[in-house]
Chain A
Amino acid sequence: MSDFFTFSDPNVRMVTAGTVLLGVSAAIVGTFTFLRKRALVGDAIAHAVLPGVCLAFIVTGDKHPAYLLVGAVIAGWVSLLAMDYLTSRTKLSTDTAIGAVLSVFFGAGILLLTSIQHSGSANQAGLDKFLFGKAASMTRQDIWVFSGVAMVLLSLVLAFFRAFKLVSFDPAFAHSIGLPVRQLEFLLSTITVLAVATGIQAVGVVLMAALLITPAAAARFWTDRIQTMLLLAAVFGFLSGVFGSWISYTAPAMPTGPWIVVLLSVIALFSIVAAPERGIWARIRLQRGNTRKILLENILKAFYSVGEAAQTFTTEVSLPEIQEQRPFEDRALRKGLRRLQRRGLLENKGTDTYTLTPAGLKESRRVVRLHRLWELYLTERMNFAADHVHNTAEAIEHVITPEVEAALLKELGHPILDPHDSVIPYPNPQKPTT
């Protein structure tokens, strides 16, 4: 491991520099591809550049990366035009157009490639590296070309950052404030083609889509800001480039490109699961928390109803009495009761009978108050019939914030009775007057 990370071996330097340059520029360009929901278009372009590469070789008879790049960019552009044409001028749907262009162009590439191979030209060896990438055998010449392309891409993104952002998120708005949307989209597509045409040399045709969109997709889970997203995507591209090269350095039989993609997928998987807020784990926890909050508040309301009917809130309430007020699932009810007890909102006296503590009473009054305030608001201000408001109030009572509560109170003028003539409980029963 230390051998690799000293970067003393020039070959290590070369491979790492190449994969990192390609990974980072693809990730940055790919962020816009991702935001414009054109991930599969990127995949199609990657397949479609192959015939361009082969034709460039047939025309020039040379394998200089710059020549091949020109051929690749032209073919990528033609494929974009073909996809746009099929989508806009025929009844084919976008995905059919993408799939058709992808397979036909790639088929043409394969046909030319095999034809070149069969022709026995001595110079052609290595052309097939475009299929699976050639990260492990990059030359100084390649690195120069990659660095040049990366510089061009980065400076374009920096120079047009604001415009690209607007075009990616809301082309209609961008148009309305006078941005040249068509030209900007053209520019964005061009830098995508350029990033793809160079990137396939690291991971190959099939896996290029991953280099483009997986870092962006992973970054999307961590942030809502495009600057942070670009930065994170670049970091993910960088890390997978470095460690992909490291893996193929320690195990030379291992292909670099696929490992870069697997590393990126692992980063994406981790982000999908573990990212705060947007990640699956965070959302499950939020959901569970909400379900629990609703259960506890409903139990408290049931206690309040029992107390309201008995006109005292200090008597012991048994489980059947609660179930009578509101049918709970047995297990959920017991769990909820235990939790309320731990929070000091309920007291357990005797077997299976409970009493509201002062804190519990206060909390139950709050929930009932919100319920009844909302019912009143719907009948008074929204002209709902009194027998149509209960269900909506059941849902909304759990999410009304103190600010909304204050606004409701002000709007309704601290009412005393709800539409069903039940008393609205206030925190301090003596105070409210109209």
Chain B
Amino acid sequence: MNAFWIILTGALVATSCGLLGVFLVLRKMAMVGDAISHAVLPGIVIAYLFAESREVLPMLIGAAAIGVLTTFIIEFLYQKARLQIDAAIGITFTWLFAMGIILISLYAGQVDLDQDCVLYGEIAYIPLDLWITESGQIMGPRPVWILSGVLLLVLLLVLLGYRGLKITTFNPEYAAAIGISTVFWHYLLMSAVSVTTVVAFESVGAILVVAFLIVPPATAYLLTEKLHVMLLLTVVLGIMTAVGGYFLAVWIDGSVAGAMAVTSGVFLLVAVLCSPTTGVLTRRFRREGMPLHLED
């Protein structure tokens, strides 16, 4: 049963992150996603300090705000201070992450977070964090419920906002011309990324969030050129990663989050080598095959 809950948690995170990650990868903003996933740390610590009951809603609103703030600081450094974009991203997230670590050390007694947990989470403890209703009924692990809620939000965003996200991703000039606000969709996407990150943070840590945001969408991108196929493939790959990662972790006796990240990397490697359209080996195979055809 524990294995089921752990894999389910991983699959939920993979699906939410992957759906958003597709748009990050296509918008060439993968590293902004990485930055947000680190930068939410001080927000999480502050939320722990103020909301002892760990209420979900204020946490989510705070998370969305911090994500938008991070993007805003990056844009400010890039456009107003004219700092090159890679340095703007690097300075912003390291600064916010350092502040988060300092806050954790400062309130070590009050905050139930430790440094390692921030990086790679404790997905293995998820089955222990049960949600028990007032009547005493056990509803299953609490994070699974919260993650399901977030997945629902992300699904709503992607389904209802499909057209807006698609147009602003592929053709921002055209979007602006027909009156679709690129800024609105940009910040909406960023808030969704931060909400997902914050919720996933506790259970799987920063590193798995980044892995799920970037690697399955990148793998899917190598396999298809159609957006809806890419979204579907990302979800399938994410779930396969969660399952494979769990068993790898059991086999090696290591962190589940780390193992899932490695598994996603294995899928990426396979796609790089063997993608039917762009795979390195596929192309080499075709090149070698071609002269024969020509001689025929």
Q: Chain A interface (Cβ within 8 Å of chain B)?
A: 34, 37-40, 42-43, 86, 89-100, 102-115, 118-119, 128, 131-132, 206-207, 209-210, 213-214, 216-217, 220, 253-255, 257-259, 261-262, 265, 268, 272, 278, 280
Contact = CB atoms under 8 A, between A and B. Distances in A.
Nearest to A117: B254
Given A104-B262, A261-B98, A98 B30 contact: yes
Given A96-B218, A265-B94, A272 B77 contact: yes
Q: Would you list the 3 A-B pairs with minimal beta carbon distance, nearest first? A: A107-B261, A104-B265, A110-B258
Given A131-B116, A209-B94, A217-B87, 4 more contacts: A94-B28, A100-B214, A207-B94, A210-B91
Interface residues of B, number: 62
A433 to B, nearest CB: 49
Given A91-B221, A107-B257, A38 B86 contact: yes
A210 B94 contact: yes
A107 B86 contact: no
A272 B82 CA distance: 9
Majority SS of interface residues in chain A? helix
9 contacts: A39-B87, A92-B222, A99-B33, A110-B120, A113-B254, A206-B94, A210-B91, A255-B102, A262-B102
Contacts of B81: 272, 280
B265 A98 contact: no
Contacts of A261: 94-95, 98
Nearest to B124: A114
Contacts of A112: 254, 258
B215 A100 contact: yes
A99 B210 contact: yes
B188 interface: no
Contacts of B295: none
Most B C-beta atoms less than 10 A away, residue of A43, A103, A105:
A103
Contacts of B257: 107, 110
B102 A258 contact: yes
Nearest to A91: B278
Given A90-B278, A254-B105, A262-B98, A118 B211 contact: no
B276 interface: no
Given A98-B30, A131-B119, A37 B86 contact: yes
Nearest to B225: A91
B214 A96 contact: yes
Given A207-B94, A261-B95, A265-B94, A40 B89 contact: yes
B80 interface: yes
B198 interface: no
Interface string B74-110: 0001001111101101110011011101100110100
A25 to B, nearest CB: 18
Interface of B: 25, 28-31, 33-34, 38, 77, 80-84, 86-87, 89-91, 94-95, 97-99, 101-102, 105-106, 108, 115-116, 119-120, 206-208, 210-211, 213-215, 218, 221-222, 248-249, 252-255, 257-262, 264-265, 268, 272, 278, 280
Contact of B265 (A34, A108, A209): A108
A37 B84 contact: yes
Contact of A104 (B87, B90, B106, B264): B264
Given A107-B260, A115-B252, A100 B95 contact: no
Given A104-B264, A255-B105, A110 B218 contact: no
A37 to B, nearest CB: 6
Contacts of B280: 89-90
Contacts of A98: 30-31
A20 B259 CA distance: 36
A261 B99 CA distance: 9
Nearest to A109: B258
A115 B250 CA distance: 10
A92 B211 contact: no
B265 A100 contact: yes
A295 B107 CA distance: 55
Nearest to B96: A265
A265 B222 contact: no
A99 B258 contact: no
Nearest to B80: A280
Nearest to B91: A214
Contact of A103 (B97, B99, B252, B261): B261
Contacts of A111: 248-249, 252, 254-255, 258-259, 261-262
Contacts of B119: 110, 131, 206
Nearest to B212: A103
A102 B206 CA distance: 12
B258 A213 contact: no
Nearest to B265: A104
Contacts of A109: 258
Contacts of A259: 98, 102
A98 to B, nearest CB: 6
Given A132-B115, A280-B80, A102 B210 contact: yes
Contacts of B211: 103-104, 107
Contacts of B115: 131-132
B33 to A, nearest CB: 7
Contact of B272 (A90, A118, A128, A209): A90
Contacts of A115: 252-254
Contacts of A110: 119-120, 207, 254-255, 257-258, 261
B194 to A, nearest CB: 16
Contacts of A210: 90-91, 94-95, 98
B222 A91 contact: yes
A253 B254 contact: no
Contacts of A94: 28
Contacts of A99: 30-31, 33-34, 210, 213-215, 218
A21 to B, nearest CB: 20
B87 A265 contact: no
Given A92-B221, A99-B210, A272-B77, A106 B94 contact: no
